[in-house]
Structure 1
């Protein structure tokens, strides 16, 4: 008799396990995709930091001298990172420059890069800083080209 009840009870619990799995699955998927989303965000943050450092170093050694070429190179780097090169906001300024914009060796160049991070567009998952990557870097000016410009 004992075996009959036991077998009958097991058959009834099989549906409960499937129901519990169905109830837990959305939260599990949200956790997995949320981890992937934040991993993409932090990967993009690291890449943006590297782009800003490279741009500051380019400015410090005087290549490229024009704002258009500088902007083009930085946008190309952002484009290769996450495909958002067109949406990037790039600024280059010289901190210790003398009045009238004279730039000398030893001044400090600051580069700021802002662009949207890679996004999976998950509707129920909040995104860090609205998905905006904003990073900056500084470098000491080592070479002043003929026409240095602060880019805004």
Structure 2
């Protein structure tokens, strides 16, 4: 088997190309993973707001209607069991009207849930990008969802 005269100069070229491309491929996989987690958490925040509105809209006698604290507990329970938490993301729940126990039958109640989502893998990459662009890319993203339901 004959070797080409120019093959000596190409020794290790594949390893060099791999070394140059590997960090980019790793960043793409990290981005896909982090954005996948963020999309999942957005779906869970939507589910929690829907569950809070559902519990608030169920018909009950005025003395048995859940208080604001109890409804926030329902939302928190849903998020605690389903949310993929990274770091210390904060959860905020608001109601419109502010006191859900006073909403009459036939009226509407709106539940808004927000969660400050921290990325898992991307912060070092985002930090490098922000050094160049001047904080153009956030490390934390606010995921929010609102659900409005008619009280039975």
Q: TM-score, normalised by structure 2?
A: 0.75
Map of 2:66 onto structure 1: 65
* 1:65-122: CA deviation from partner (whole Å, max 9, x where unpaired): 1122111121121122134798210011239x9xxx9521111100000112362142
1:147 equivalent in structure 2: none
Matches within 5 A, 1:1-152: 3-4=2-3, 6=4, 9-61=6-58, 65-80=66-81, 81-83=83-85, 87-94=90-97, 102-117=102-117, 119-122=119-122, 123-125=124-126, 126=137, 130-142=140-152
- Structure 2 residues not aligned, in runs of 5+: 127-136
Q: C-alpha distance in 1, partners of 2:41/2:74? A: 18
**CA separation of 1:79/1:45 partners in 2, compared to 1, >3 Å: closer, same or farther?**
same
How many residues get paired?
134
Residue 94 of structure 1 contacts residue 109 of structure 1 at CA under 8 Å; is this kept in 2?
yes
Would the aligned equivalents of 1:48 and 1:135 in 2 still touch at CA under 8 Å?
yes
- Structure 1 or 2, whichever has the larger Rg, is 1
Q: CA RMSD in A?
A: 2.9
CA distance in 1, matches of 2:21, 2:92: 42
Distance 1:86 1:15 in 2: 46
